[in-house]
Structure 1
Amino acid sequence: MEKIQTQPVDINGNHFKRAGFVLVLMVGTFLTIINQTLLVTALPKIMSDLDISASNAQWLITTFMLISGIMIPTSAFLLNTITNRNLFFAAMVSFAIGTVICALSTTFNTLLVGRIIQAIGSGLMIPLMQTLMFLVYPAERRGEAMGLVGIVIAFSPAIAPTVSGWIVDYYNWRYLFYIILPIVVLNLLLAFFYMKNIINLTKPKVDFFSILLSSLGLGSLLYGISVAGNEGWQNMNTWISCVIGIVVIILFSRRQFKLAQAFLELRVFKSRTFTLSTIIVAIIFMTMIGSEILLPIYTQSIKGFSALQSGLILLPGALVLGVISPIAGKLFDKYGVKKMSMIGMFILAVATFPFLLLTKDTATWWIVCLYSLRMLGMGFVMMPLATAGINALSNDLISHGSAINNTVRQVFASLGAAIMVGVMSATVTRYSNDYEGISLSSLLKGLNNGFMSAFILIVIAFILCIFIKSPIYTKKEE
């Protein structure tokens, strides 16, 4: 009888097995998130096959991030309007349809449409998983739950370039979608048996103006940041889009405080712990995504490695992050967020500093070790902090907190890439000359400065960790 009481309960009061529910959620989200970075190393082959320019090809990634980012804030409203089971199926079916279109596409426009439909499902799945994982575990095991979330959110985009590099080097790029599709179908079949409804619907009134403001504001901001990453911060479109985005987001925020039932409940920011933890995790995510862009540039342009070899250099770090995330979750449940975050940030800072000193002759094994150590530090910080933030919210605000947490992380991830690549590009331009063009020395200097911007951000996050105070539910307290 005791065992039954530890099992989660659906909205009808029926106990169900947590393991199948969690497996379906994790696999579904893993498949959707891995597509964010899956095409990074495949773009040259796609450009050649579909006869498109680099600027057009980049939209296959940028558009995915834009649509996914726009959908995330909507998830909180949908979770209170549609049963979580139906929302899961809607997200996965959308992703499956987009994957089929991508696999069969023979033109750029068709492939882009497929990526947009994929992104709709992906944008819904990320906050859906985080919310459901939080609610399906008791308070004293939420660190463990978020550790599992960390495997998916951090591990999948980290491993994608390696998988993509291997497939593209030996097979057609369409196999990137052919391989994913049967796993999606299998997961949908499992969901029929294991996905349960665990959220009681409040069915808030639809505020179409909030949806419009949210989509326009976030879309403009993400577009501006994406342009900055591709074209540089000097581009006028960057600043126009970012300013429009910020202004519209301010208007959206003011409207939420006036509504009887907010489309996105911004009073979660009244919690100091939630606000601080969200900012710190977003900053860390900035440095992770930015580093995953800079390191392949170093290994391919300076070291002369192939796309697959570059991916393999990142693979051990991805594996470390995947292993440490659930362990860090259990340690969080036992020791709380303060010790975990300080230790993790110290490791992250120590492992990041040597990247400021990269040279052409830096040993590959040393890079692998440092990158793996960085991932270890991130594993100790990201999910424990995210857990502490959402733990500080009441159950009725968890879906809103998850949506906001993921939205901020999406924006900061794009911003981190734009800042670190922007710093690198500006340095390269400064140290290059008209006669020699871009030299190895100027590119190295640019990469060093790009990692310096990451190190500065990590120091800022470390300082913010000092002010984290969170009520942690531990087994000891019980």
Structure 2
Amino acid sequence: MSSRLLDSPAEPTTAAPGRTPAVIRLLVLATFVVILNETILINAIPRLMSALHITEQTAQWLSTAFMLTMAAVIPITGWFLQRVPTRAAYATAMGLFLLGTALAAVAPSFEVLLGARIVQASGTAVMMPLLMTTLMQVVPEGDRGRVMGNVSLAISVAPAMGPTVSGVILQFGSWRLLFAVVLPIAAVITWSGLKQLRNVGEPRPGIIDWFSVVTAAAGFGGLVYGLSRFEGGDVRTAAAIVAAGLATITVFVLRQLSLQKRGVPLMDLRTLRHRTYTVALILMAVAFMAMLGSMMLLPLYLQNVRGLNELQAGLLVMPGGLAMGLLGPTVGRLFDRFGGRVLVVPGAIGIMLALAGFTQITMTTPYWQLLALHALLMVGLAATFTPVFTLGLGVLPPRLYSHGSSILSTLQQVSAAIGTALVITVMSARADALKSAGTAEALADLGGMRLAFVIGAALSVAVVVTALLLPARAGNTDELEVSGR
């Protein structure tokens, strides 16, 4: 593909009010496909164990490595998106995703499949910040809520659909079908995108600081890896890796503060000088911890305690995921009309009530009640995430959009890892204590899950408190940087 084709003239930085720009529709579709792939292997673990002769712990690395790669690559995307044209960034992201998917479909061994997942994740890591950055550049402020609502359709429905889609596909054959089905769809989307996509904004020249790249990858990747080790019960090793990751992130932050003085940071931390962005970041992080922890617990409860199979468990939680995504555009329109507080505060309260309800689950809780609680949780998240993303990024100056979306996406990965590690550790410790006291295994597992849901409910109280600190709209009165403008 010629560089002239990828470097076609840039579009104007804003589109006509009331319409979703074609570039955003293309990027949303591509993002849906790559994010769907993140969760599509969940139901395939037993098949992979049998076909590749590996243990469950080894098979889980196919998901862990994907998450680790995302955490390591996303911090670099803020710098990357400022230095390359939109079409080149899109071609890079989708090219890596296609290469990884094709390699996974024909992988002869676990090692090759693991490498393919890492290549896939590298492409996926670029897509989310690319979508968010482009949206902030081309969509007028008055339409951002509506368009961000459409974006949430891709972000929320895709992970919810992954396990269900994989459960259906696996009924027809090998685990390789999961990649063979995705590959032509992704190829058509890539071709269509490159045919229609135009560059947005102007790239800026600059050099890359390789020390920052290494410390970002080691720090954020190490932190997520350490948190994932808590699942296996190796607490001391996990804690040591987390500590090393945090120390490396500290070195990375200090390096960015130094580079900011010369105007060449890999991740520009001046975004944090904007109060609303920082509050939105905190709210999103805590909400993600509560959400991902609960999304991990519910399938475990449905399968291990209630005896449902993977497909049945996936179908039970699918309505909530669909509700979250399909409400996105409506939430966005309401945000454009009424502002953020009227959505975020009730949404945060809905999250808290749903998680409080999950603390009361029993061995015989009706399935309709579980479905209703999960739907309430997803609706609360839908009312929260779209306004929070829009408010947070909306207060930043255009030169910081790519860095702001990069930090937001990085924190999502880290928060997901923290939430998962927290609930798994609490659940396992409580269940082991109950088993030692003579409680039956199923009841002990249930007791562990209920206490873990209490942790999620406690986190949701912090979400409500933080929601009260957000303004209705992205104003400029308290959003000026303290220094270094």
TM-score, normalized by length of structure 1?
Answer: 0.93
Return 191-200 or 384-393, whichever deviates more: 191-200
- 1:285-311 deviations in Å (ceiling 9; x for gaps): 222222221111111112111110000
- 1:14–1:251 CA distance, 2 compared to 1 (3 A): closer
- Identify the match of residue 358 of structure 2 among 355, 359, 373: 355
The match for 2:161 is: 159
Q: Point out where structure 1 has 5 or more consecutive residues left out of the alignment.
A: 1-8, 474-478
Instruction: Check if 1:343 corresponds to 2:346.
Output: yes
**Aligned partner of 2:462: which letter?**
I
The match for 1:5 is: none
Return 63-72 or 201-210, whichever deviates more: 201-210
Aligned residue for 1:357, secondary structure, equals coil
Aligned residue for 1:115, secondary structure, equals helix
**Aligned partner of 1:249: which letter?**
I
Instruction: Indicate conservation of the 8 Å contact 2:303/2:313, yes or no.
Output: yes
Whole-Å separation in 2 of the counterparts to 1:111 and 1:434: 42
Instruction: Indicate conservation of the 8 Å contact 1:392/1:471, yes or no.
Output: no
- Identify the match of residue 196 of structure 1 among 187, 195, 198: 198
**Aligned partner of 2:324: which letter?**
L
For 1:217-366, what aligned pairs fall within 5 Å after superposition?
Answer: 217-228=219-230, 230-232=231-233, 234-259=234-259, 260=262, 261-366=264-369
Instruction: Indicate conservation of the 8 Å contact 2:35/2:155, yes or no.
Output: yes
**Aligned partner of 1:379: which letter?**
A
The match for 1:106 is: 108
The match for 1:139 is: 141
Q: How far does residue 166 in structure 1 lie from its aligned partner after superposition?
A: 2.1
- Identify the match of residue 61 of structure 1 among 63, 67, 82: 63
- 1:357-409 deviations in Å (ceiling 9; x for gaps): 10111101111111111111100001211110111101110110000001011
Q: Point out where structure 2 has 5 or more consecutive residues left out of the alignment.
A: 1-7, 476-485
- 1:301-341 deviations in Å (ceiling 9; x for gaps): 12111110000001100110011111111111111111211
Whole-Å separation in 1 of the counterparts to 2:395 and 2:25: 26
**Aligned-pair RMSD on alpha carbons?**
1.8
The alignment covers a number of residue pairs equal to 462
Whole-Å separation in 1 of the counterparts to 2:137 and 2:378: 27
Whole-Å separation in 2 of the counterparts to 1:335 and 1:12: 30
**Aligned partner of 2:368: which letter?**
W
- Identify the match of residue 463 of structure 1 among 445, 462, 465: 465
The match for 1:449 is: 451
**Aligned partner of 2:106: which letter?**
L
Instruction: Indicate conservation of the 8 Å contact 1:98/1:114, yes or no.
Output: yes
- 1:171-196 deviations in Å (ceiling 9; x for gaps): 21111111110111111111122211
Instruction: Indicate conservation of the 8 Å contact 1:33/1:156, yes or no.
Output: yes
- Identify the match of residue 95 of structure 1 among 94, 97, 103: 97
The match for 2:479 is: none
Q: How far does residue 472 in structure 1 lie from its aligned partner after superposition?
A: 3.4
**Aligned partner of 1:23: which letter?**
R
Instruction: Check if 1:413 corresponds to 2:412.
Output: no
- Identify the match of residue 26 of structure 1 among 16, 25, 28: 28
Aligned residue for 2:216, secondary structure, equals helix
Q: How far does residue 240 in structure 1 lie from its aligned partner after superposition?
A: 1.5
The match for 2:121 is: 119
Instruction: Indicate conservation of the 8 Å contact 2:288/2:415, yes or no.
Output: yes
Return 427-436 or 411-420, whichever deviates more: 427-436
Q: How far does residue 241 in structure 1 lie from its aligned partner after superposition?
A: 1.2
Instruction: Indicate conservation of the 8 Å contact 1:423/1:446, yes or no.
Output: yes
Q: How far does residue 14 in structure 1 lie from its aligned partner after superposition?
A: 9.8
Return 133-142 or 400-409, whichever deviates more: 133-142
**Aligned partner of 2:285: which letter?**
A
Instruction: Indicate conservation of the 8 Å contact 2:14/2:140, yes or no.
Output: no
TM-score, normalized by length of structure 2?
Answer: 0.92
- 1:218-268 deviations in Å (ceiling 9; x for gaps): 11111101111x213x52221121111111111111111111121110010
